[in-house]
A and B are shown apart, each in its own frame.
Chain A
Amino acid sequence: MHNTGVIMRRELGSYFATPLAYVFILIFLVLANSFTFYLGGFFERGQADLAPFFNFHPWLYLFLIPALAMRLWAEERKSGSIELLLTQPVTLWEAVLGKFLAAWIFAALALALTFPIWITVNYLGSPDNGAILAGYVGSLLLAGGFLAIGSCMSALTRNQVIAFILGVVACFAFLLAGFPLVLDVFRSWAPQALVDAIASLSFLTHFESISKGVIDVRDFLYFAMLIGFFLLATVIALDVRKAE
């Protein structure tokens, strides 16, 4: 655990050593707010809640989170620093977890900086702050799921652009797993049980139920297992391909 913390702190520091952190946070905040006001009709709806804010998070994350995750391992492999890191007395798990947590904390920071919208909605009316908190928790879990997928894609290649594209495609597939776009691919040949299983993997359904304020243990479990699965896949991918 000590090493995970050390690696996490180094990684987090390196975000802020380059313009990456500032550019990411700025774009995230600008887009999150524009979507809320222009596409979501925050004022026009006349309701004191943050649904128009959270509804766009999956689509915002679809491009921004793979951009954050693409460098996690691809950059280490490209520069060769992966050899330096993995010949220190650390396990692969500690390294994968440390880097993932750094990216997740960073995403949490960007999300926390949207607090003015929470203040705004409280100023304008009296919203259900419990539901807003649930929305933030759901959004954070969603970001974690996307990051775990992005981490795995980043471990598969030394090219960050490829890692980004693979990340977007994989996240998109998970996002829409419950929708005809994805399900129709399986429906024609797969048994109904498999189609149902795939449909239940959809990010969107789990995210929406949490962000409506319905806290269900199964939704938490879903994100925890998804993150665990993709971090395990990252470890395996690195173990096989780290030296190539």
Chain B
Amino acid sequence: MIKTEHLSKRYESLTAVDDVSFEVRPGEVLGFLGPNGAGKTTTMRMLAGFISPTSGTASICGHDTETDALAAKRSLGYLPEGAPLYGEMTVKSFLEFIADLRGLSGAQRVSRLDYTIGRLQLATVLEQTIETLSKGFRRRVGLAQALMQDPPVLILDEPTDGLDPNQKHEVRALINEMSSEKIIVISTHLLEEVDAVCTRAIVIARGRIVADDTPQGLAARSRYHNAVSLQLERRQDLEAARAAIAALPLVAAVEVGERDARLTALPQAGAQILAQISELAARQNLQLKELQLESGRLDEVFRTITA
């Protein structure tokens, strides 16, 4: 379990993290969301024991990150932001170095090295120096070191930042695969990532927690939660359709997309309007190219609560 209580980090003129308290339990994948400079990295660095909190405490599996730092670090795999590595080392010697520092020896050392090399598909680059590797490979080496001793807790700072879509997919698949038995905290500013891997999202802005919810719960805060959007076959029907939908009793407002002329009907609080709208379309003989029930737009929620 990860637990923080009133965790704060102040620099001379700046409060980077302000009274942050939360708990993460096994099986949870927590996404740290927030604009750049919101305090995500500072919080993760305190969890990883790299910097000390100004006040408050953090613990990893019951070990305080300040008073019992070595035990906390042993329970932890940490990928720092940007995945810094020793560029002049070969992948093999780097991973062996990490295995030694994590206290692995004998058969266990061999099997964990084999596992991480196999799992992150590093076998083909083992003898290359890290500085000659592509960004995707370097990130994988960074993840391999985090997983080295099979730690119960993983803290990954922007694990997919700068990767191409295929590499992002691979990293997310890896996180999903490990999520059932581990506690995983990732930070990201990619909202699709929250949907793809997280069971819970904490949004921080200016060092404070502004939302702590499931991704679905966050999406439900959107104005677009349960909204219905539709695309008409004939452009000339647009005005009539807009007026007709706006006149429906449970519809609060109708928005028209500027570029694609897409109509979006926003429901009044708690109302379901999909049935009404499809009925209306049939009645008025509107030919629909597309009709969609929206679950909510995370980017809109994100902008609203971090603004």
Q: Chain B residues near A7 (CB, 8 Å)?
A: 101
Distance of B37 from chain A, by nearest CB (Å): 15
CB-CB under 8 A for A83 and B84, given A6-B100, A6-B101, A10-B97: yes
Could you list 28 A-B pairs, sorted by A, with CB under 8 Å? A3-B101, A6-B100, A10-B89, A10-B93, A13-B93, A14-B86, A14-B88, A14-B89, A17-B88, A79-B84, A79-B87, A80-B82, A80-B84, A81-B85, A81-B86, A83-B50, A84-B80, A84-B84, A84-B85, A87-B50, A88-B73, A88-B98, A88-B102, A89-B74, A89-B101, A89-B102, A89-B103, A243-B45
Within 8 A of B (CB), among A77-99: 79-81, 83-84, 86-91
Q: Chain B residues near A88 (CB, 8 Å)?
A: 73, 98, 101-102
Smallest CB-CB separation from B88: which chain A residue? A17
Cα–Cα, bound, A88→B148 (Å): 11
Q: Chain A residues near B73 (CB, 8 Å)?
A: 87-89
Residues of B within 8 A of A (CB): 45, 48-51, 70, 73-74, 76, 78, 80-82, 84-89, 93, 97-98, 100-103, 129, 145
Within 8 A of B (CB), among A223-244: 242-243
Distance of A93 from chain B, by nearest CB (Å): 12
Q: Chain A residues near B89 (CB, 8 Å)?
A: 10, 13-14, 17
- What interface size band does chain A fall in? 20 to 34
**Pair A243/B87 contact, Cβ less than 8 Å:** no
CB-CB under 8 A for A243 and B70, given A80-B80, A84-B145, A88-B102: no
Among the interface residues A3, A13, A88, A242, which one has the most CB atoms of the partner chain B within 10 A?
A88
Cα–Cα, bound, A84→B85 (Å): 7
Cα–Cα, bound, A89→B74 (Å): 6
Distance of A32 from chain B, by nearest CB (Å): 27
Q: Does A18 count as interface, using CB distance less than 8 angstroms?
A: yes
Distance of B20 from chain A, by nearest CB (Å): 17
